[in-house]
Chain A
Amino acid sequence: GESVGLHLPTLSVQEGDNSIINCAYSNSASDYFIWYKQESGKGPQFIIDIRSNMDKRQGQRVTVLLNKTVKHLSLQIAATQPGDSAVYFCAEKLTFGGGTRVLVKP
């Protein structure tokens, strides 16, 4: 079956640095990916999405890169802030990965 997985369960980053969260998927036919942010005690919240006909998509301080050749996508957060501390999930349509916890150090 389909699977989506993140590479690291925890990422510690210094405030102001850039964060990169990686995710791999197994189904080469996958055509739509979403990144969610989940803060403590809350439900996941949509951050950004990307379709398979794109390699890159930018939002406010976030960029998602999709490499279909190696079935890998990443979420980059520029100038990480304390408010970015959360668990981040990549999802292929409705299938979620295990999540990466981002800890922002002051």
Chain B
Amino acid sequence: EAQVTQNPRYLITVTGKKLTVTCSQNMNHEYMSWYRQDPGLGLRQIYYSMNVEVTDKGDVPEGYKVSRKEKRNFPLILESPSPNQTSLYFCASSSGLEFYNEQFFGPGTRLTVL
């Protein structure tokens, strides 16, 4: 089944404790991205990647890091999480480099930073 998977689905952590949220897709997609979703703000893009070893900042990159060592994986790293990073996070992938390609979203990771 074609899908985007994220782990963990739920995470409660404390300020300053480094964490990684994994994202994997099995569709051989080149384009991957991370979003955060907050009430009333819709989805805001954190980082995106056009291909392996190519990553770029989205609209809200502060406090986050990503890496793209393999085509299928695009982990999101919070080196020192803070309470304002409490949010619902989505990973997405699409087949092409053009924006006209449909994005497939993962199920989401709900993060709480205390």
Contact = CB atoms under 8 A, between A and B. Distances in A.
Contact of B42 (A43, A45, A49, A99): A99
Interface stretch (B13-21, B63-71, B73-81, B105-113): B105-113
Interface stretch (A11-19, A59-67, A78-86, A88-96): A88-96
Contacts of A42: 107-108
Contacts of B45: 94-95
A98 B40 contact: yes
Given A93-B99, A94-B33, A43 B40 contact: no
Interface string B26-41: 0000000101000011
A49 B108 CA distance: 23
Contacts of A99: 42
Given A98-B41, A98-B42, A43 B99 contact: no
29 contacts: A4-B42, A9-B40, A34-B102, A41-B108, A43-B90, A43-B92, A43-B107, A43-B108, A44-B43, A45-B105, A46-B102, A46-B103, A46-B104, A49-B100, A49-B102, A89-B43, A93-B99, A94-B45, A94-B58, A94-B99, A95-B45, A95-B59, A96-B43, A96-B44, A97-B42, A98-B40, A98-B41, A98-B42, A99-B42
Contacts of A91: 43
Interface in A15-62: 32, 34, 41-46, 49, 51
Contacts of B59: 95
B93 to A, nearest CB: 11
Contacts of A9: 40
Contacts of A44: 43, 90, 103, 105
A42 B43 CA distance: 13
A93 to B, nearest CB: 4
Nearest to A2: B59
Contacts of B33: 94
Given A41-B108, A49-B102, A98-B40, 17 more contacts: A9-B40, A32-B100, A34-B102, A42-B108, A43-B90, A43-B92, A43-B106, A44-B103, A46-B102, A51-B100, A89-B43, A91-B43, A93-B99, A94-B33, A94-B45, A94-B58, A95-B59
